[in-house]
């Protein structure tokens, strides 16, 4: 008896196996993406990179997503989710190996661009599979579980990255290991990944229609711009803070990795709290308000702290303050006038807008550091921007069940 038949016989939803496998793939990619900032002091020294090059390399985590998410989501939403995940994993495994083989800055930059672009190929697969396997009243739960799991797994990779650099003898072997792990996950997806066309809530069109309506949706713009404020600060901190902390001498690279890693564990707690709060209240806006008010103060605390313990606590609270993340994945499902086949493009639009801002974070941080002559001052200026999230939370309309 196959795994799917066994679960169905026991009254369990095989969709959790499908989405769970996808969660593990996303968590691995999250680890490979966000550990770049921790490794940047070592990579920069090895390849002779200056601060501007560090900023641009870190920005590729976001700018590629900002530029290509909508066109790739529009393009690949018409294809089989299982096949797009296979293509994405295969390409990303190759680009991760290319990271480790990089002989100079430009080769590494090209590999990073390819890695991020390949990940976007599977972007439409998640919302399509969620709609195939789960009823609408379970979408917030699925998004919360996915965010929590990714936060735990990604946080563990970031937390132990300093130790892994020593254990695997350098950053190149780290990326070789990432490439090998992605290959294993690709094989797992080939075996476990399934579609559920019988329960698909719509007949798939050749392309998602009504993209113009989505791009003109005021709610999507407000949501994207609000999250942009937080993501600019995150992009700058994730890329430039380890260099700032180690250059001032109050933290070693190991301890900087521990501090930043704690934010992902905090992110897990915050996502769980935000999802539970939203489901209990039947509203989406309150977690957005809370995050927008807390994040500026917590982020400033990280920059000003000169104690390992205090810095670690601030990073943990920074993650907890990210209550709103499961909510921004849920709202596109609930927007009036957005059909099921348009949800992947609506989500892609939100991601594109706020990742454009996140990509500006390290670029703006490195530029302002040159203007002010201080990386600390540059980071303090950027840390005020998450207030945009609070403003957006006031302006958007409520889409939760309580409002309906």
Cβ neighbours of residue 210 under 8 Å, at least 6 residues apart? 339, 342
The CATH label, of 3.40.50.1820, 1.20.1250.20, 3.40.30.10, 1.10.1740.10, for the domain at 10-395 is 1.20.1250.20
Kindly report the length of the chain. 404
- Residue 194, classed as helix, strand or coil, is coil
pLDDT of residue 320: 92
CA 348 to chain centre: 12
Question: For the whole model, what pTM was predicted?
Answer: 0.68
Kindly list the domain boundaries of the chain, sorted by start residue. 10-395
Do 298 and 314 form a contact (C-beta atoms < 8 A)?
Answer: yes
Backbone phi, psi, residue 7, to 5°: -65, -40
Q: What is the pLDDT along the chain (404 residues), one digit of tens a residue?
A: 455 555 444 446 788 888 889 888 988 888 888 788 788 888 888 898 888 888 888 888 777 877 887 787 777 777 888 999 999 999 999 999 999 999 899 999 999 999 999 988 888 888 888 888 888 777 778 877 887 787 777 777 877 887 888 888 889 999 999 999 999 999 999 988 888 766 555 444 444 455 566 667 788 888 888 888 898 898 888 888 888 888 887 788 788 888 888 887 888 888 888 888 888 888 888 899 999 999 999 999 999 998 899 999 999 999 899 888 888 878 887 877 777 667 777 777 777 777 777 778 888 888 898 888 888 999 999 989 999 999 988 888 888 787 76
- Looking at residue 329, the DSSP 8-state letter turns out to be H
pLDDT of residue 295: 94
DSSP string for residues in 67-121: HHHHHHHHHHTTS-HHHHHHHHHHHHHHHHHHHHT--SHHHHHHHHHHHHHHHHT
The two three-digit tokens of residue 86, written as one number: 């296979």
pLDDT of residue 290: 92
| Other CB atoms within 10 A of residue 54 CB | 23
Do 338 and 211 form a contact (C-beta atoms < 8 A)?
Answer: no
pLDDT of residue 92: 95
Do 240 and 364 form a contact (C-beta atoms < 8 A)?
Answer: no
């Amino acid at each position: 008896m196959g795994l799917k038949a066994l679960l169905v016989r026991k009254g369990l939803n095989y969709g959790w196996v499908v989405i769970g496998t996808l969660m593990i793939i996303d968590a691995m990619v999250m680890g490979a993406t966000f550990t770049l900032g921790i490794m940047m002091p070592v990579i920069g020294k090895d390849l002779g990179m200056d601060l501007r090059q560090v900023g641009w390399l870190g920005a590729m985590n976001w700018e590629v997503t900002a530029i290509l998410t909508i066109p790739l989501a529009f393009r690949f939403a018409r294809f089989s989710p299982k096949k797009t995940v296979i293509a994405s994993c295969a390409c990303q495994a190759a680009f991760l190996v290319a990271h480790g083989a990089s002989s100079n800055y430009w080769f590494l930059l090209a590999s990073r661009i390819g890695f991020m672009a390949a990940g976007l190929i599977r972007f439409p697969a998640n919302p399509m599979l969620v709609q195939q396997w789960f009823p609408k009243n379970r979408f917030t739960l699925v998004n919360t579980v996915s965010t929590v799991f990714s936060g735990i797994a990604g946080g563990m990779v970031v937390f132990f990255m300093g130790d892994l650099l020593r254990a695997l003898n350098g950053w190149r072997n780290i990326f070789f290991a990432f490439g090998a792990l992605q290959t294993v996950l690709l094989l797992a997806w080939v075996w476990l990944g399934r579609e559920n066309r019988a329960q698909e809530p719509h007949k798939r069109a050749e392309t998602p229609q009504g993209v113009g309506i989505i791009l003109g949706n005021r709610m999507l713009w407000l949501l994207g711009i609000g999250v942009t404020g937080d993501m600019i600060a995150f992009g700058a901190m994730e890329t430039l803070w380890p260099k700032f902390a180690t250059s001032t001498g109050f933290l070693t690279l190991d301890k900087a990795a521990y501090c930043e890693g704690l934010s992902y564990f905090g992110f897990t707690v915050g996502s769980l709290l935000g999802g539970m709060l939203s489901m209990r209240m039947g509203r989406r806006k309150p977690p957005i308000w809370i995050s927008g008010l807390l994040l500026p103060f917590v982020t400033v605390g990280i920059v000003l702290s000169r104690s390992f313990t205090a810095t670690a606590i601030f990073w943990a609270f920074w993650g907890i303050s990210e209550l709103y993340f499961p909510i921004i994945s849920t709202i596109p499902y609930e927007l009036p006038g957005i059909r099921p086949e348009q949800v992947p493009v609506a989500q892609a639009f939100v991601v594109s807008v706020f990742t454009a801002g996140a990509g500006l974070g390290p670029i703006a941080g490195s530029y302002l550091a040159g203007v002010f002559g201080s990386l600390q001052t540059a980071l303090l200026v950027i840390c005020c921007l998450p207030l945009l999230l609070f403003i957006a939370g006031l302006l958007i309309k409520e889409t939760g069940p309580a409002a309906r």
